C-alpha cells in the first residue's frame, strides 16, 4: 500500500509549525535560546492476514490485524559540538489524517523540549569528555520519492491453492500437518522539515509448515520449515515442492537420530549455513557502525580499517538495492537512500553498516568523512511496550569467494571425505542452514544447524541430535580447507535491539579442518503413554 496524500500533508503541517518553536532559559543571568534544527517523522502502516490449515482443512476464519505507528526524531541546538536529539514513538495510532495530526501536534511540544534539554545536558558533558550524548545531524537533502504502487493487494487466495495442493505430499497417518499462510501488506512515509516526502511499500508472504507426531520409539517428534516471498510470482511449484521434499526427508531421517560426543570434528557447511555464519559472526553485528563506534564491539574496530581481517579470497557485500529480495528497500527509516556497500574486499576491512549517527561518530573517530549508507532499520516502533531503537542493520548479504579458490560440488565432497580420513575422530559433520548468535564484545559465535548429519569416511550419513558449533571469529578461518559450489541463498529475520528485520544471504559451501561441537548430554524425551491410534 502507498500512504495517502492526506496523511503526508497532516505530518508536514505539524512539522512546519514546530520547527519554528524555541526554548529560552536564563543560565547564570544570560538568556539562552535553543531551537529545533531538524525534525523527521516515519509513519508506517501494516495489515496482516493469516490462515491456518490442519491436515489441509481450515481451522477458522482468516485472522486480520491492522496497525499503524509513527517515529519522530527532533534535533535541537547550535551544532558546534553536536545536537540534542530526542527520538520517540507513537504506537497503536489510527490511520485517520485528522487524528494523526492532532496526536502528533499534542506530543511535539514535549519532544522539542526534551531535545533542547538533551542539548543542554550534552554541553555540560562536553566539559568532562569528548564522547558526549550530543549527536551530529549528518548530511541531509530534500528528497521526493513515491514507489510505484502494485496493481492490487496480495490475497491469501492468490497463493493458498498451490501451497495446499503440494503440501498434500506431507500428509501421512503417523503425523499432523500444520500449514500457515500469512500475507503482510504495508506502507511507509518519511516526512521531514526539509520538505522530504518518501513513500514506499512493505510486502511479504510468509508460509510455514510443521509436522508433529512420534518417532519409531514413540517419542515426540516435531519438524518445522518456513518460506518467505516478496511477491506472489515468487511462489512457484518448484520452490514449494523443494521445501516439502526436504521435510519428508528430514522426517524419515529423524526416526532414528544419532548422538555424537562433544569435541572437534571436520565440518562441511552448505551455502545456507555459511551465509548464517558470515551474517552472525561478522557482518550483521560486528560490522554495525553503532556497535563499533560506541565501543561495544572490540573485534573489527576502526583501527583495523584498510587492514587484512579475513583471508584475501573473501569479499563481503551488503546490498539492499537488489529488487525483490528479503532485505530490499530504496530508502531507510531516516530518509537516506540505500546503497550497495563493500564491507570487506579481498579480506581487507573497507566499511561498516552506517546510519546517520554512526557515520558522524565514525567520521570523528577516524578523522575523515563518512556518510550514512542507508542502513537505519527497525521492526516497528515498539514491541511489548518497549520502544525499539533505530540502528544500522544488515540487508542482503553476499559472500564472494575468488573463483580460483572455489571447488566444484563433487571435488568439495571428496575433500570433505579426505579430511575425515585424516582426523582422529574418523567422522565429520555436514551442516545445512541454521541460525546463530554472536557476542559482539569478543566475537564468540554459536551456530544452531537447521540439520546436522554425521558423515563417515565412507560417506554414510545419519541425522544428528541437536548440536551447536562454537567458534571465535578471528580464529575460525585458520581452519578453512576449501570453499565450493554451489552458492546457496538463505533468508530469515535478524534480531537486535531494533527488533527483527528481514534479511537474505548468498554464500558458497565451506570446509573446515575442524571446529568445536557441543552436543546435548542426553535425550530427555519420554515415550508416548498410549501408542495405539484411534
Within this chain, do residues 200 and 295 fall inside the same structural domain, yes or no? no
Cell 529475520 locates to: 493
Closest to 96 (Cα-Cα) out of 45, 153, 147: 45
Among the candidates 239, 256, 273, a domain finishes at: 256
Within this chain, do residues 198 and 287 fall inside the same structural domain, yes or no? no
- In the predicted model, what is the mean pLDDT of the chain? 90
* 503 located within any domain: yes
Cα gap 369→356, rounded to integer Å: 12
Residue 492 has pLDDT above 60, yes or no: yes
Cα gap 174→179, rounded to integer Å: 17
Q: Model confidence over 134-182: pLDDT tens digits?
A: 887 777 889 999 998 765 566 777 788 889 888 888 988 889 999 999 9
Strands 480-496 and 406-407: parallel
Q: Model confidence over 295-330: pLDDT tens digits?
A: 777 788 889 999 999 999 999 999 999 999 999 999
Strand partners, 264: 516
* 531 located within any domain: no
Our separate counts of H helices and E strands in the chain read 9, 26
Residue 455 has pLDDT above 60, yes or no: yes
Within this chain, do residues 224 and 243 fall inside the same structural domain, yes or no? yes
Strand partners, 74: 39, 86
* 505 located within any domain: yes
Q: Which has the higher per-residue pLDDT, 103 or 475?
A: 103
Within this chain, do residues 240 and 364 fall inside the same structural domain, yes or no? no
Q: Model confidence over 364-418: pLDDT tens digits?
A: 888 888 999 999 999 999 887 788 989 999 999 999 999 999 999 999 999 999 9
Within this chain, do residues 329 and 425 fall inside the same structural domain, yes or no? yes
Helix, strand, coil abundance in the chain, percent, nearest 5: 25, 40, 35
Cα gap 8→260, rounded to integer Å: 59
Within this chain, do residues 407 and 490 fall inside the same structural domain, yes or no? yes
Cβ-based neighbours of 75, under 8 Å, separated by 6 or more: 36, 37, 38, 39, 83, 84, 85, 115, 135, 137
What is the pLDDT confidence band of residue 130, given thresholds at 50, 70 and 90? Answer: confident
Within this chain, do residues 289 and 425 fall inside the same structural domain, yes or no? yes
Asked if the bond preceding 60 is cis, omega within 30° of 0, the reply is no
Within this chain, do residues 271 and 169 fall inside the same structural domain, yes or no? no
* 525 located within any domain: no
- Structural domain that includes position 406: 263-519
Strand partners, 411: none
Within this chain, do residues 268 and 245 fall inside the same structural domain, yes or no? no
CATH number of the domain at 166, please.
3.30.2290.10
For residues 318 and 286, the answer to whether their CB atoms sit within 8 Å is no
What H or E segment, with its residue span, contains residue 5? helix 5-18
For residues 132 and 81, the answer to whether their CB atoms sit within 8 Å is yes
Within this chain, do residues 220 and 295 fall inside the same structural domain, yes or no? no
For the chain, the domain total comes to: 2
Among the candidates 256, 280, 315, a domain finishes at: 256
Closest to 138 (Cα-Cα) out of 87, 189, 85: 85
Within this chain, do residues 239 and 282 fall inside the same structural domain, yes or no? no
For residues 71 and 87, the answer to whether their CB atoms sit within 8 Å is yes
Among the candidates 228, 256, 284, a domain finishes at: 256
Cα gap 416→434, rounded to integer Å: 20
Neighbouring C-beta atoms of residue 183, cutoff 10 Å = 25
What H or E segment, with its residue span, contains residue 245? helix 237-253
Please list, residue by residue across 340-351, b when 16 or more beta carbons sit within 10 angstroms of its beta carbon and e when fewer do. ebebbbebbbbb
Query: Whole-prediction pTM value?
Result: 0.91
Percent of the chain topping pLDDT 70: 98
Within this chain, do residues 244 and 366 fall inside the same structural domain, yes or no? no
* 524 located within any domain: no
Cα gap 24→494, rounded to integer Å: 43
Amino acid at each position: 500500500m502507498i500512504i495517502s496524500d492526506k496523511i503526508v500533508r497532516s505530518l508536514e503541517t505539524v512539522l512546519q509549525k514546530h520547527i519554528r518553536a524555541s526554548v529560552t532559559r536564563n543560565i547564570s543571568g544570560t538568556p539562552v535560546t535553543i531551537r529545533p534544527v531538524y525534525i523527521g517523522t516515519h509513519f508506517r502502516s501494516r495489515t496482516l492476514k493469516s490462515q491456518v490449515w490442519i491436515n489441509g482443512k481450515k481451522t477458522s476464519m482468516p485472522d486480520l490485524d491492522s496497525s499503524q505507528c509513527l517515529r519522530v526524531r527532533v534535533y535541537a541546538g547550535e551544532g558546534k559540538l553536536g545536537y540534542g536529539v530526542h527520538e520517540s514513538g507513537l504506537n497503536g495510532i489510527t490511520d485517520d489524517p485528522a487524528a494523526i495530526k492532532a496526536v502528533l501536534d499534542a506530543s511535539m511540544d514535549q519532544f522539542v523540549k526534551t531535545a533542547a534539554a538533551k542539548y543542554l545536558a550534552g554541553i555540560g558533558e562536553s566539559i568532562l569528555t569528548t564522547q558526549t550524548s550530543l549527536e551530529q545531524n549528518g548530511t541531509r537533502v530534500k528528497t521526493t520519492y513515491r514507489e510505484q504502487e502494485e496493481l492490487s493487494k496480495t490475497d491469501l487466495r492468490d497463493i493458498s491453492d498451490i501451497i495446499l495442493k503440494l503440501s498434500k505430499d506431507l500428509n501421512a497417518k503417523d503425523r499432523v500437518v500444520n500449514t500457515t499462510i500469512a500475507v503482510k501488506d504495508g506502507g511507509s512515509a518519511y516526512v521531514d522539515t526539509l520538505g522530504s516526502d518518501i513513500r514506499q511499500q512493505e510486502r511479504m508472504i510468509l508460509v510455514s509448515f510443521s509436522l508433529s507426531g512420534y518417532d519409531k520409539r514413540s517419542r515426540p517428534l516435531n519438524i518445522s520449515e518456513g518460506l518467505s516471498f516478496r511477491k506472489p510470482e515468487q511462489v512457484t511449484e518448484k520452490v514449494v515442492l523443494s521445501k516439502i521434499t526436504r521435510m519428508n526427508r528430514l522426517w524419515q531421517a529423524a526416526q532414528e537420530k544419532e548422538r555424537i560426543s562433544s569435541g572437534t570434528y571436520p565440518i562441511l557447511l552448505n551455502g545456507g549455513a555459511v551465509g548464517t555464519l558470515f551474517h552472525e559472526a561478522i557482518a550483521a553485528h560486528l560490522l554495525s557502525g553503532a556497535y563499533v563506534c560506541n565501543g561495544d564491539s572490540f573485534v573489527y574496530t576502526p583501527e583495523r580499517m584498510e587492514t587484512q581481517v579475513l583471508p584475501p579470497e573473501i569479499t563481503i557485500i551488503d546490498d539492499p538495492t537488489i529488487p525483490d529480495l528479503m532485505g530490499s528497500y530504496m530508502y531507510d527509516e531516516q530518509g537516506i537512500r540505500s546503497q550497495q556497500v563493500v564491507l570487506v574486499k579481498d579480506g581487507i576491512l573497507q566499511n561498516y553498516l552506517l546510519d546517520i549517527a554512526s557515520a558522524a561518530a565514525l567520521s570523528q573517530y577516524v578523522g575523515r568523512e563518512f556518510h550514512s549508507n542507508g542502513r537505519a532499520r527497525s521492526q516497528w516502533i515498539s514491541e511489548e511496550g518497549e520502544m525499539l531503537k533505530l540502528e544500522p542493520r544488515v540487508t542482503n548479504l553476499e559472500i564472494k569467494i575468488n573463483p580460483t579458490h572455489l571447488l566444484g560440488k563433487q571435488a568439495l565432497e571428496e575433500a570433505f571425505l579426505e579430511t575425515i580420513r585424516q582426523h582422529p575422530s574418523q567422522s565429520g559433520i555436514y551442516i545445512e542452514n541454521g541460525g546463530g548468535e554472536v557476542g559482539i564484545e569478543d566475537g564468540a559465535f554459536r551456530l544452531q544447524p537447521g540439520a546436522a548429519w554425521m558423515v563417515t569416511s565412507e560417506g554414510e550419513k545419519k541425522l544428528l541430535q541437536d548440536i551447536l558449533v562454537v567458534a571465535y571469529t578471528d580464529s575460525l578461518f585458520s581452519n578453512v580447507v576449501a570453499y565450493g559450489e554451489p552458492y546457496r541463498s538463505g533468508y530469515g529475520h535478524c534480531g537486535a535491539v531494533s527488533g527483527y528485520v528481514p534479511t537474505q544471504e548468498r554464500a558458497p559451501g565451506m570446509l573446515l579442518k575442524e571446529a568445536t561441537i557441543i552436543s546435548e548430554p542426553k535425550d530427555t524425551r519420554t515415550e508416548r503413554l498410549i501408542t495405539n491410534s484411534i
